């Protein structure tokens, strides 16, 4: 996969590409990330990329010409998936990251100020994506989040061990608690079942903990699932009411 990032501050993205899984997927040629400064496509002598909004109001708008010129250079065969990062986009989810990981070429357009001229969205952008219901000072950090989420699920990115040990329910529920040594720390004990070596009981315990944590923190996720009698019993025993459908 190739990802081109088009931004006013591409240097925000650069450091995170040099470590961990993102470094590994690039080193093994599964992913190429190219960072581009939108200002390189500015046409006037001041290299301006933004201008005042028609109709008045506060804030500046990214001009269409540099963005159209950049995309013409980066996407001559018009085969790329062009993503505009904006709080007005569809939410980035694990499912969306996984489907994007099947693409061969993404162009990530990062907004700044009040965003881009609407003609960019009308003519160039394939998908608008938001990383959450809050406003960042620009799309660069959102682009980095997307690159990370997509990069780590590229085929072969996670080692066999990591992929094989993903719990079967990890897609739908929040994660269960994790512990490492020591078994007792500052008077706090690791749950006995985890020390038992009884794999079936450990899986049951993890599932119940994931279910309870999801009910507590993200009841909206539970509403999408078909809960079994056993699930409902677990939630009731923990004093977490069964979510209404």
Q: How far is the C-alpha of 95 from the C-alpha of 117, rounded, in Å?
A: 29
Q: Which of 22, 101, 106, 111 binds ligand ADE (CB under 6 A)?
A: 111
Q: How far is the C-alpha of 88 from the C-alpha of 132, rounded, in Å?
A: 9
Q: Residue with CB nearest ligand ADE? A: 142
Establish if 85 lies at the interface with ligand ADE (CB under 6 A). yes
Q: Which of 136, 147, 157, 234 binds ligand ADE (CB under 6 A)?
A: 136
Give me the 139-178 binding string for ligand ADE, x by CB under 6 A, dash otherwise.
x--x------------------------------------
Between 33 and 108, whose beta carbon lies closer to ligand ADE?
Answer: 108
Q: Which range binds ligand ADE by CB under 6 A, 12-20, 85-93, 152-160, 223-231? A: 85-93
Q: Which range binds ligand ADE by CB under 6 A, 81-89, 119-127, 155-163, 218-226? A: 81-89
Please tell me the number of Cα atoms within 13 Å of 122 on its side-chain side: 4
Q: Which of 12, 83, 131, 150 binds ligand ADE (CB under 6 A)?
A: 131
CA distances for 113 relative to 57, 66, 116, 117, 179, angstroms:
12, 16, 8, 11, 44
For residue 207, give the DSSP letter. H
Q: Which range binds ligand ADE by CB under 6 A, 4-12, 93-101, 125-133, 197-205? A: 125-133
Q: 176: burial class by Cβ within 10 Å (0-12, 13-18, 19+)?
A: buried
What is the pairing mode between strands 32-37 and 2-7? parallel
C-beta of residue 67 within 8 angstroms of C-beta of residue 120:
yes
Between 17 and 142, whose beta carbon lies closer to ligand ADE?
Answer: 142
Q: Which range binds ligand ADE by CB under 6 A, 49-57, 133-141, 196-204, 222-230? A: 133-141
Q: Which of 18, 58, 104, 134 binds ligand ADE (CB under 6 A)?
A: 134
Q: How far is the C-alpha of 10 from the C-alpha of 15, rounded, in Å?
A: 10
CA distances for 78 relative to 71, 88, 155, 212, angstroms:
9, 24, 24, 47
Query: By the criterion CB under 6 A, which residues form the site for ligand ADE?
Result: 85-87, 111, 130-132, 134-136, 139, 142
């Amino acid at each position: 996969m190739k990802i081109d990032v088009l931004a006013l501050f591409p240097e925000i993205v650069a450091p995170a590409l040099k470590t961990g899984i993102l470094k590994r997927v690039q080193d093994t040629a599964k992913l190429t990330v190219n960072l581009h400064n939108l200002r390189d496509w500015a046409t006037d002598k001041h290299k301006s990329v933004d201008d005042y909004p028609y109709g008045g109001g506060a804030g500046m708008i990214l001009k269409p010409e540099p963005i159209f010129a950049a995309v013409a250079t980066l996407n001559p065969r018009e085969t790329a998936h062009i993503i505009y990062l904006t709080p007005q986009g569809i939410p980035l989810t694990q499912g969306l990251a996984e489907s994007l990981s099947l693409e061969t070429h993404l162009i990530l357009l990062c907004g700044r100020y009040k965003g881009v001229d609407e003609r960019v969205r009308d003519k160039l952008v394939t998908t608008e994506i938001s990383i959450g219901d809050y406003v960042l000072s620009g799309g660069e950090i959102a682009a980095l989040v997307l690159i990370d989420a997509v990069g780590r699920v590229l085929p072969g990115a996670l080692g066999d061990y990591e992929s094989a040990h993903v719990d079967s329910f990890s897609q739908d529920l929040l994660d269960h608690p994790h512990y490492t040594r020591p078994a007792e720390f500052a008077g706090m004990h690791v749950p006995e079942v985890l020390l038992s070596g009884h794999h079936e009981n450990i899986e049951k315990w993890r599932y119940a903990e994931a279910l309870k944590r999801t009910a507590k923190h993200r009841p909206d996720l539970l509403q999408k699932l078909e809960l079994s009698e056993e699930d409902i019993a677990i939630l009731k025993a923990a004093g977490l009411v069964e979510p209404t459908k």
